[in-house]
Amino acid sequence: MAHALIVIDIQNDFCPGGALAVAGGDEIVSGVNAIMDSYDAVILTQDWHPRGHSSFATTHDADPFITTQMPYGTQVLWPDHCIQNTNGAAFHPDLRTDADMIIRKGFNTAIDSYSAFFENDRTTPTGLEGYLRTRGIDTLTLVGLATDFCVKFSALDAARLGFTVTVRTDLCRAIDMDGSYATARSDMRAAAITLL
């Protein structure tokens, strides 16, 4: 069966100088590029928010990095980031984009989407599962940004859907707020995800 590389959100706003910069986010680009040719398929994800998105602190006149309750559960409020068609939403300029597919997420104003598979209600699908299954892919390796948010939720959903999942943590970087990186590692291990 086939093995896909899922490259999560390597976008300017998650790299140093960006609106929601992840420390060392740019350091993984060359390593990610280097492994792309080793997989049967390469999928890039792109966080892709409209202005005034409900995950933005500014939308709620709140401070960033606090949590709030949404109809679908607890949501961290973020600085405005990855706004559609802005430079911040563009892929890091050195990232290879000769991928099989690019999937965008977070485009619904009312709901955030950390995972590449489901929005944050954990039930509204993005369509990625169907794409992978129709391509005969049963094994996934995940890399990208940020380990403790979009990579984690994508990996957990993939495992729940029955894919065999590895996260190359050396090719990920974390936001790490309030111990979220340690929690992400233990949550992924508990779901039988291999951390390399």
Q: How far apart are CA 187 and CA 105, in angstroms?
A: 22
CA distances from 55 to 19, 67, 83, 149 (A): 14, 10, 12, 13
DSSP string across 26-89: GGGHHHHHHHGGGSSEEEEEEE-BPTT-TTBGGGGT--TT-EEEETTEEEE-B-S--BTTSGGG
Q: How far apart are CA 145 and CA 15, in angstroms?
A: 9
Among 47, 80, 119, 148, binds Zn ion (CB under 5 A): 47
Beta carbon of residue 13, minimum distance to ligand VGL (angstroms, whole number): 9
Beta carbon of residue 101, minimum distance to ligand VGL (angstroms, whole number): 18
Among 77, 95, 146, 167, binds ligand VGL (CB under 6 A): 146
Indicate the residue among 40 and 57 with the shorter CB distance to ligand VGL: 57
Q: Is 9 in the site for Zn ion (CB under 5 A)?
A: no
Q: Is 98 in the active site?
A: no
Indicate the residue among 149 and 163 with the shorter CB distance to ligand VGL: 149
For residues 30-49, which are near ligand VGL according to CB under 6 A? 47
> 14 and 158 in contact (C-beta within 8 Å)?
no
Indicate the residue among 40 and 195 with the shorter CB distance to ligand VGL: 195
Summarize as ranges the residues that interact with ligand VGL (CB under 6 A): 9, 14, 47, 78, 114, 145-146, 149-150
Summarize as ranges the residues that interact with Zn ion (CB under 5 A): 47, 106
